[in-house]
Each structure stands twice: as C-alpha cells, then as structure tokens.
Amino acid sequence: DQQVKQNSPSLSVQEGRISILNCDYTNSMFDYFLWYKKYPAEGPTFLISISSIKDKNEDGRFTVFLNKSAKHLSLHIVPSQPGDSAVYFCAARNTGNQFYFGTGTSLTVIP
C-alpha cells in the first residue's frame, strides 16, 4: 500500500515561472514531511521539510505547503531555473521514525 503518492510523473515549466509539485498521503500519523531532489546517477538531496504542526515553510525559492485536512502537501519553486530540472521526491516520517517516499515527479525547466 503506497502511503505517499505523487500522481504526476512529470512536469514541464518555463524558466522564471512557478513550479508546483504535489504529493498526497494517507497516514495521519506522519509527523514530518520532506522533499528531496535527485539528479541522474546521484543519491537524493534534501531540499526542505515541514512539521505536521505547521502549514508552510519557506527557504529561498522553495516553499512547502501542508494541508493536513486534505492530506496534501506541495512544493513551490519560484522562479524556476533550468538547474532545478531533476526528479523530486516527497517523503513522510511516522512517529516510529520510518520513512515513506513517493514515486517522484520529473521536473523539466525549459530555458
């Protein structure tokens, strides 16, 4: 059973515009949510996280929004840059310190 889902396998955005990556989850016991970025032939790199007690966390061009009632989180990248082109994974942690990852969304930022 996939507890963390990323329903969009790919996304293309023009440089300078906003990229919005979405993630849904099923387990209300998750206490932290994280976004990772992955380039080919490299391991995932941590981007940003948010606690379940918050609804927004911002770090530079990256903002994560959490909607607990909808069990939905999103990552906004603005402005998007060609170097942002990568696969983005959302992940969630439960209180037992177990992590669950989505299947990833491949973002392409078009110059």
Sites of contact with other proteins (CB under 8 A): 2, 4, 32, 34, 36, 41-46, 49, 51, 89, 91, 93, 97-104
Which one, 100 or 107, has the nearer CB to other proteins? 100
CA distance 43 to 69: 32
Identity of the residue, 12 or 51, whose beta carbon is nearer to other proteins in the bound complex = 51
User: What residues contact residue 60 under an 8 Å CB cut-off, 6+ apart?
Assistant: none
Q: Of the two residues 4 and 77, which places its CB atom closer to other proteins in the complex?
A: 4
Contact status, residue 75 vs residue 56, Cβ threshold 8 Å = no
Q: Check: CB of residue 85 under 8 Å from CB of residue 109.
A: yes
Please state the closest distance from residue 14 (CB atom) to other proteins, in A: 27
The Cα–Cα gap between 82 and 2 comes to 30
- 80 versus 88: smaller Cβ distance to other proteins: 88
In the complex, what is the shortest distance from the CB of residue 101 to other proteins, in angstroms, rounded to a whole number?
4
Query: Could you tell me the smallest distance in angstroms from the CB atom of residue 52 to other proteins?
Result: 11
Residue 78's nearest CA partner among 3, 21, 9 is: 21
Minimum Å distance from CB 111 to other proteins?
A: 27
